């Protein structure tokens, strides 16, 4: 997959995306791609990365391509996410 064929998906930048510094998702109905800036805000009080730090990013890059395939006026909901 090359980024030449990817388009901006209808991205909703909410509080979680801003908080975790997740970029808008690009892709199509089968692939999603984004970036997330990392830093100390993703760490716990011991300075170790939090286990759930990638959750918002992974939910967006898997969810937006799914949402691109559903009929207008509908939305998907993540019920379970494993990495």
pLDDT at 45: 92
Name the residue with higher pLDDT: 3 or 78: 78
Q: What is the pLDDT of residue 83?
A: 61
Q: What is the pLDDT of residue 82?
A: 65
> How sure is the predictor about 63, in pLDDT bands with cuts at 50, 70 and 90?
confident
More confidently predicted of 74 and 12: 74
- Residue pair 61/48 in contact (Cβ under 8 Å)? The answer is no
According to DSSP, residue 48 is labeled: P
20, 53, 57, 69 from 36: Cα distances, Å: 7, 10, 7, 24
Model pTM?
Answer: 0.69
């Amino acid at each position: 997959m090359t980024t030449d064929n990817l388009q901006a998906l209808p991205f909703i930048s909410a509080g979680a995306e801003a908080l975790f510094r997740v970029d808008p998702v690009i892709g199509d109905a089968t692939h999603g791609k984004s970036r997330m800036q990392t830093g100390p805000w993703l760490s716990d009080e011991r300075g170790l990365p939090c286990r759930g730090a990638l959750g918002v990013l992974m939910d967006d890059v898997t969810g937006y391509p799914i949402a691109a395939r559903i009929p207008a006026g509908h939305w998907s909901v993540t019920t379970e996410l494993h990495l």
